[in-house]
Amino acid sequence: MEFLKILEDIYNEALQQPKTGQVATSMPELALINPDKFGLHLVTLNGENYAVGNADEKFSIQSISKALTVALAFSKLGEAIWERVGVEPSGNPFNSLVQLEYEKGIPRNPFINAGALVIADILVSELKNPKQDFLTFIREISSHETIDFNLEVAKSERQTGFRNIALANFLKSFGNIKNDVDEVLDFYFHQCSLEMTCKELAHSFYFFANEGKTKSGKQVLNKSQVKRLNAIMQTCGFYDESGEFTYKVGLPGKSGIGGGIVALYPKNFVIASWSPRLNEKGNSELGMFALERFTTITEMSIF
């Protein structure tokens, strides 16, 4: 298939779309990004790479990091992580607190903020130097040594993170945060501040498409574990728009409020997009459009 031509056509089509979405305003670093940046990167499992637009510019991956933290936690503890976080779609916004009280501090899934905070707590317990070890893991699975946290973003996350601070304390009151709340939040704020290009993002998610094995041959998770995390991405990766993404795109994936989306077709490819204008659910407007066009044109969706 002529992937480059397909990406170029989608890119040109996307530029004609109405620009109704708004960049995230929760932090100055995100609010100041040029809203019209747009990039796509595709990596196939036979090692081909195709890119268009601003695919080599770093952006804040934000909640996309939640798929990588849960992968690391799952590789350390296996099924035991599901005692502390569920695998059900929440149907609520990513930063919602409402379900936590009647579900006794067990978040619905690892991709809403409450669930990601529990996963962060697990990693703080399991890793010797949590932030550094997580970074080493990301660099290793992606084979990109320059991937790093943006410390200014991490600081802003802290300064503006009142809801996350509330969530972490609420979880602690149920006993579902074992470590010091501030330490867990510090880890979470750093994971959200990770910056990647579309290319780095696509490479980081390669193992999800490749039965748990990275591009360089490291087995991160076994086949069954990767099948399970892909299933959770499919059902929960886009918060209360997960049904819509499944309906339109038909691939497991994960989004972040920095405007990134990564989606994958097991045993075939990983595609990453970046466009900072978000719809009202917090997902990249053009990213959703581009990925819908991609699976429609190529007829490559898991459905």
* Cβ–Cβ < 8 Å for 60, 110: no
Candidate residues 94, 208, 265, 269; the one interacting with ligand GLN per rule CB under 6 A: 94
Q: Give the gyration radius of the chain's Cα atoms.
A: 18
256 binds ligand GLN (CB under 6 A): yes
Show the DSSP H helices in 90-129 as ranges.
Answer: 98-102, 113-126
d(CA 230, CA 87): 11
The answer on whether 63 is annotated among ligand-binding residues is yes
- Compute the least distance from the CB of residue 126 to ligand GLN, in Å: 21
- Compute the least distance from the CB of residue 25 to ligand GLN, in Å: 12
Per-residue contact track with ligand GLN, 194 to 233, x per CB under 6 A? ----------------------------------------
- Compute the least distance from the CB of residue 255 to ligand GLN, in Å: 7
CB closer to ligand GLN out of 113 and 214: 113
Q: Which residue is nearest to ligand GLN (CB)?
A: 63
CB closer to ligand GLN out of 62 and 90: 62
- Compute the least distance from the CB of residue 192 to ligand GLN, in Å: 4
The answer on whether 143 is annotated among ligand-binding residues is no
96 binds ligand GLN (CB under 6 A): no
157 binds ligand GLN (CB under 6 A): yes
Among 195, 204, 184, 198, which residue's Cα sits nearest to residue 29? 195
Candidate residues 54, 63, 109, 230; the one interacting with ligand GLN per rule CB under 6 A: 63
111 binds ligand GLN (CB under 6 A): no
Longest dimension (CA), the chain: 54
Q: Is 18 left (phi over 0), alpha (psi -120 to 50) or beta?
A: beta
Angle ∠(104,107,111) on CA atoms, nearest 5: 175
Candidate residues 51, 249, 257, 264; the one interacting with ligand GLN per rule CB under 6 A: 257
d(CA 46, CA 55): 20
Strands 194-196 and 59-60: antiparallel
What 98-105 contacts at long range (C-beta under 8 Å, 24+ apart), as own/partner pairs, is 100/167, 100/170, 100/171, 100/174, 101/170, 104/174, 105/170, 105/171, 105/173, 105/174, 105/175, 105/176
The answer on whether 239 is annotated among ligand-binding residues is yes
Task: Determine phi and psi for 73, rounding to 5 degrees.
Answer: -65, -40
The answer on whether 244 is annotated among ligand-binding residues is no
192 binds ligand GLN (CB under 6 A): yes
The answer on whether 11 is annotated among ligand-binding residues is no
Strands 49-53 and 39-44: antiparallel
- Compute the least distance from the CB of residue 113 to ligand GLN, in Å: 5
Candidate residues 54, 69, 90, 113; the one interacting with ligand GLN per rule CB under 6 A: 113
* Cβ–Cβ < 8 Å for 118, 171: yes
69 binds ligand GLN (CB under 6 A): no
d(CA 149, CA 142): 15
Which parts are annotated binding residues?
63, 113, 157, 164, 188, 239
Residues in touch with ligand GLN (CB under 6 A)? 62-63, 94-95, 113, 157, 164, 192, 256-257, 282
Which parts are annotated binding residues for substrate?
63, 113, 157, 164, 188, 239
